[in-house]
Structure 1
Amino acid sequence: MDYELLQKYNFAKIIVREFGFHHEIHWQSKVSFEDLDEETFLREFSWVVLSSGMKNTVIEKKFGPISNCFYEWKSASLIAKNCIKCFESAIQIFNNKAKINAIIDAATKISKQGFANIKKLIGKDPIHSLQKFKFIGPITVYHLAKNIGLDFAKPDRHLQRIASMHNYSSVQDFCRDISKHSGDSVPVVDIVFWRFATIEPDYVNVLYSLNITPNSPM
């Protein structure tokens, strides 16, 4: 990986921090799969399912009220036992039966199998195991994986465009190369470029035209 690409990453990171999103970088850097518990998994799973195909800002406004409908994700068994009540209250806030049912289905599955057993399966084969949950597909599985502390990047259109611009066919390889040289985790590299793309609509051209020399202050 060349010096220029690492400096482009550092530039994007500076912009993200200057726009007040340093807390997202901090959060992602602290997420650990080893420390993953049932509550965190349910919350992150639900976030990924609800945000699939939707703007992040929409889910941010609704996620608090939806969390209330599911007992703040405290217990899969509690959600499973009160699934009708959870569904009826949540559907009033977020009118998508398939997504709400996917959350209830996940809670029921965890309640039956035990979170420790499910976590063990995820640890052994994360991408395959996570896709056994409803609404977790070939793209969203990486979103969920990184949000629960696994070393993956989400290959969304923003990262794919940035990686391709730098002659990478794989988003994972692109983020891992930057991770090795920057000291940041793969998920942190992901969130920096993703947030930069939401801040700067013309992010591809901005990164492409960035004039960087070895003495550039970054």
Structure 2
Amino acid sequence: MKTREPALASFGHERDEVRSMMSFRAAFEFYIRAKEAVVAAGFASELDWQERLVLERVTEQDFLREQAWVVLSSGMRGTVVAGVFGEISAAFRGWDVARIREDVEGCSSRALNAFCHPGKINAIAENCRLVVDLGLESIKRELRKEGPFWLTRLHYIGPVTCWHLAKNLGLDVVKPDRHLVRMAQASGVMDTTRLCEVFADATG
């Protein structure tokens, strides 16, 4: 029996490696099919937009718009957010910092008429105030230094949604949503960032 134990252990290790390789291959093939489905559904422009994003080119208007989108998206379907976002953007003066600064309360009041969720609307307004107070360049410096978790200082942005916002602001990070987490676990990679790095290497 003693002579068989190392062999069995070796076999078990090799079997686990094979399973891991098969799981990763399945995850990668699923990713390819999912990307093709996204493009076929007419969302190629979304992929192109994400590819072009860089923090250096983000404006105050971009920042305010994206924080609002992520705040509204928390616990809510994207289609619902998309349905009200135009009205909320109009309520907040098209995310024009100077115009918002002059009438934050009025912006909030108009936005509540379009979307009656005081918690989220007030969070968006407070985040606008924060950007005005700190200045965008200061925020960018902090983001480069501290990474996505700095964004948890914003209202209604937590340790998960900060990754969503960071990605939408052009940081090279992965939003660890439940789909990617499950895929990473199933493939044996166990980390969404590493999974996406491997996918990126595989696709060039």
TM bucket (normalised to shorter chain) is 0.7 to 0.9
Q: In structure 2, what is the equivalent of residue 46 of structure 1?
A: 68
Could you tell me whether the CA contact under 8 Å between 2:149 and 2:159 is conserved in 1?
no
Pairing 1:42-81 to 2, within 5 Å after superposition: 42-75=64-97, 77-81=98-102
Could you tell me whether the CA contact under 8 Å between 1:80 and 1:104 is conserved in 2?
no
Pairing 1:108-127 to 2, within 5 Å after superposition: 108-127=129-148
1:85 to 83, 97, 106: 106
Is the aligned partner of 1:180 residue 2:201? yes
Q: Secondary structure at the match of 1:24?
A: helix
State the TM-score, normalizing by the size of structure 1: 0.78
CA drift at 1:100:
0.8
Could you tell me whether the CA contact under 8 Å between 2:112 and 2:121 is conserved in 1?
yes
Residue by residue over 1:127-153, the C-alpha shift from the partner in whole angstroms, topping out at 9 and shown as x without a partner, is: 231111111101100100111111111
Pairing 1:159-174 to 2, within 5 Å after superposition: 159-174=180-195
| Between structures 1 and 2, the one with greater helix share | 2
2:177 to 141, 156, 180: 156
Point out where structure 1 has 5 or more consecutive residues left out of the alignment: 184-218
Could you tell me whether the CA contact under 8 Å between 1:33 and 1:149 is conserved in 2?
yes
Distance in 1 between residues matched to 2:148 and 2:167, nearest whole Å: 11
1:30 to 52, 62, 73: 52
Distance in 2 between residues matched to 1:8 and 1:94, nearest whole Å: 36
Distance in 2 between residues matched to 1:151 and 1:145, nearest whole Å: 8
Residue by residue over 1:103-160, the C-alpha shift from the partner in whole angstroms, topping out at 9 and shown as x without a partner, is: 1111111111211111111121122311111111011001001111111111111111
Point out where structure 2 has 5 or more consecutive residues left out of the alignment: 1-19
Larger Rg: 2
Greater relative contact order structure (CA < 8 Å, 6+ sep): 1
Q: In structure 1, what is the equivalent of residue 151 of structure 2?
A: 130
Percent identity of equivalent pairs: 37
Distance in 1 between residues matched to 2:155 and 2:105, nearest whole Å: 18
Is the aligned partner of 1:99 residue 2:120? yes
Residue by residue over 1:42-85, the C-alpha shift from the partner in whole angstroms, topping out at 9 and shown as x without a partner, is: 1111000011100000001100010000111121x432331110
What amino acid sits opposite 1:69 in the alignment?
Answer: A
State the TM-score, normalizing by the size of structure 2: 0.83
Could you tell me whether the CA contact under 8 Å between 2:72 and 2:120 is conserved in 1?
yes
Q: Secondary structure at the match of 1:92?
A: helix
What amino acid sits opposite 1:51 in the alignment?
Answer: S
